[in-house]
């Protein structure tokens, strides 16, 4: 099949801004900005909007001497910004397939910017002549966030969806950074930086009933928008893993535990079918009769980074590790491959006879007709060697030493590797890659992993 497409977009924007800063006695700092933005991505009635930023800081250590503290600064800021929709969001559009024209999106000329207001509070501390600590609390509120809302075909005249300013979303982020100068000598130095952050986000208001969301056209609608819940919640079917879960279904009130066993994959099955072609998992039904459940959450417990910088005379070594703890990924790639027994999990070679699972089990309950299932939700925790570089400077000569560092001349040879190795229990290629539209839709849908790159570098300084 041959697919041909073309696209031509034209958008215009204009911006005006004014800013002012004040420094009083080198201890009271104030900064402000007003900005007027205009964009053709909005309807005629909402094309220009005004935003602002104001921030202030107090250098406490300039007034109060604290033993061991080199610098102590308290700061706070508030700012607003307008998020822009995609080019097509304000227009109606149709699709053409097999000679048939179908209505797709109902236009919305009344789209307004999604207004994001952020309050930030921070503390910066330098102490013991070698430590720099920063702690930040940032609270964001986005009013009128863009959502692609499913429409009633009867009420919309046949259109499937419309982008609307439909939601208010709240996010809270706590960040921490610690930089440490462990050794600092003319010919030898070592320092490292630790970073970490934790974010929670919640839909405060949703201008319609809860609805399912398809992430980038991958699989079924595995994500769910519901007022009062976090962004990034995965909904789908659960498979029964214990007899107690089976009994939650009122229809199984008379079931006998002796009739069931847990198979090697951890799922409850009928004992009479264990190891046979008709062995099948059982879908969980709650006491209230619900068949769809919360099965995952993409939001990690925290993200972290650990950067190391080592120097000995002309030799330098830099290593950056980063990663996340917690946060789920929906493995759609695995689900699709199980349909034809092509995923490695279905390979029973080398397993003891009593541990083998019939291939039909994978193509049935786990493939599940591409309906979302907790069998495909995996922990996305990982640690990655993000960057490793080694360098050597020939004929190094120090020209000067400043507060910003050493100024040298010479020839620097370097070898730099990025995305070199990942430690994870995730069974896909890379837990960091998503086929969804953004991080809130972490779904593995036949995407390449982050490429490993190795680069050589020659730098001349004089």
pLDDT digits (tens, 9 = 90+) for 228-242: 999 889 999 999 999
Range name among 75-89, 217-231, 318-332, 389-403 with the lowest pLDDT average: 389-403
At 328, is the pLDDT very low, low, confident or very high (cuts 50, 70, 90)?
Answer: very high
Which comes out higher in pLDDT, residue 405 or 299? 299
Cα–Cα separations (whole angstroms), residue 101 to 64, 87, 344, 431: 73, 21, 41, 39
- In what side-by-side order are the strands of the sheet with 293-297? 211-213, 223-225, 233-236, 293-297
Nearest to 380, CA basis, from 321, 333, 325: 325
On the question of pLDDT at 437 being above 90, the answer is no
On the question of pLDDT at 94 being above 60, the answer is yes
Q: What percentage of residues in the chain have a pLDDT greater than 90?
A: 66
pLDDT at 436: 65
Range name among 63-72, 158-167, 402-411 with the lowest pLDDT average: 402-411
At 406, is the pLDDT very low, low, confident or very high (cuts 50, 70, 90)?
Answer: low
E strands present in 40-113 = 48-59, 69-83, 93-97, 100-105
Mean pLDDT computed over 172-185:
94
pLDDT at 438: 63
On the question of pLDDT at 274 being above 60, the answer is yes
Mean pLDDT computed over 112-123:
96
pLDDT, tens digit (0-9, with 9 covering 90-100), for 189-240? 999 999 999 999 999 999 888 888 876 555 567 888 899 999 889 999 999 9
pLDDT at 33: 97
For the ranges 21-35, 94-108, 360-374, 432-446, the one whose mean pLDDT is highest: 21-35
Please list, in sequence order, all residues whose beta carbon lies within 8 angstroms of the beta carbon of residue 402, skipping any fewer than 6 positions away.
Answer: none
Structure tokens at 148: 């692609």
pLDDT at 259: 97
At 398, is the pLDDT very low, low, confident or very high (cuts 50, 70, 90)?
Answer: low
- For 345, phi then psi, to 5°, come to -65, -25
On the question of pLDDT at 269 being above 80, the answer is yes
On the question of pLDDT at 446 being above 70, the answer is yes
On the question of pLDDT at 95 being above 80, the answer is yes
How far from chain centre, in Å, is Cα 25?
42
On the question of pLDDT at 336 being above 60, the answer is yes
- Sign of the dihedral defined by the CA atoms of residues 345, 348, 351, 356, in that order: positive
Please compute, for residue 416, the number of CA atoms within 13 A of its CA located in the half-sphere on the CB side: 12
Mean pLDDT computed over 309-329:
95
Mean pLDDT computed over 250-274:
96
pLDDT at 451: 92
pLDDT at 403: 54
Q: What residues does 17 pair with on adjacent strands?
A: 35
pLDDT at 219: 55
Nearest to 117, CA basis, from 90, 84, 148, 143: 143
Pair type for strands 48-59 and 28-39: antiparallel
Q: Is 409 left (phi over 0), alpha (psi -120 to 50) or beta?
A: beta
pLDDT at 366: 87
CA dihedral 337→341→345→346, nearest 10 degrees, is 170
pLDDT at 24: 94
As a whole number, the mean pLDDT across the chain is 90
Q: Are 181 and 408 in contact (CB under 8 A)?
A: no
Mean pLDDT computed over 180-184:
91
Distance from C-alpha of 380 to C-alpha of 301, rounded to nearest angstrom = 11
Distance from C-alpha of 90 to C-alpha of 9, rounded to nearest angstrom = 13
How far from chain centre, in Å, is Cα 142?
17
* Whole-prediction pTM: 0.85
On the question of pLDDT at 332 being above 60, the answer is yes
């Amino acid at each position: 099949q041959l697919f041909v497409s073309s696209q031509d977009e034209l958008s215009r924007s204009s911006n005006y801004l004014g800013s002012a800063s004040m420094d009083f006695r080198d201890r009271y700092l104030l900064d402000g900005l007003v900005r007027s933005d205009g964009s053709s991505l909005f309807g005629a009635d909402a094309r220009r909007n005004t935003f602002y930023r104001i921030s202030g800081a107090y250098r406490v250590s300039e007034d109060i001497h604290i033993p061991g503290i080199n610098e102590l600064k308290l700061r706070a800021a508030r700012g607003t910004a307008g998020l822009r929709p995609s080019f097509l969001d304000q227009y109606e559009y149709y699709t053409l397939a097999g000679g048939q024209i179908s209505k797709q999106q109902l236009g919305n000329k009344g789209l307004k910017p999604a207004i994001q207001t952020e309050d930030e509070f921070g503390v910066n501390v330098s102490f013991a002549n070698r430590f720099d600590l920063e702690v930040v609390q940032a609270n964001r509120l986005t009013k009128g966030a863009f959502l692609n809302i499913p429409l009633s075909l009867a009420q919309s005249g046949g259109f499937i969806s419309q982008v609307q300013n439909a939601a208010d979303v709240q996010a809270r982020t706590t960040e921490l950074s610690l930089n440490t100068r462990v050794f600092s000598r003319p010919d030898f130095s070592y320092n490292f930086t630790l970073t970490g952050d934790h974010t929670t986000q919640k839909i405060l208001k949703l201008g319609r009933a809860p609805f399912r969301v398809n992430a980038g056209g991958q699989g079924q609608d595995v994500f769910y928008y519901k007022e009062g819940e976090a962004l990034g919640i995965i909904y789908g079917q659960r498979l029964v893993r214990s007899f107690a879960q089976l009994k939650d279904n009122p229809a199984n009130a008379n079931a006998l535990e002796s009739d069931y066993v847990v198979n090697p994959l951890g799922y409850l099955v009928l004992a009479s079918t264990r190891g046979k072609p008709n062995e099948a998992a059982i879908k969980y039904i709650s006491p209230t009769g619900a068949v769809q459940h919360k099965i995952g959450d993409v939001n990690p417990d925290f993200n972290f980074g650990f950067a190391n910088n080592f120097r000995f005379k002309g030799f330098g070594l830099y290593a950056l590790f980063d990663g996340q703890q917690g946060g789920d990924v929906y493995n759609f790639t695995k689900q699709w491959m199980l349909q034809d027994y092509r995923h490695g999990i279905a390979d029973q070679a080398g397993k003891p006879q009593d541990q083998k699972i019939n291939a039909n089990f994978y193509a049935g309950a786990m493939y599940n007709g591409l309906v979302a299932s907790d069998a495909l939700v995996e922990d996305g925790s990982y640690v990655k060697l993000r960057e490793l570089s080694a360098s050597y400077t020939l004929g190094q000569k120090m020209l000067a030493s400043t507060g910003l560092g050493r100024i040298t001349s010479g020839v620097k040879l370097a070898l730099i590797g990025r995305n070199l190795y990942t430690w994870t229990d995730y069974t896909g290629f890379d837990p960091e890659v998503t086929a969804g539209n953004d991080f809130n839709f972490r779904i593995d849908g036949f995407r390449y992993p982050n490429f490993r790159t190795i680069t050589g570098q020659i730098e001349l300084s004089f």
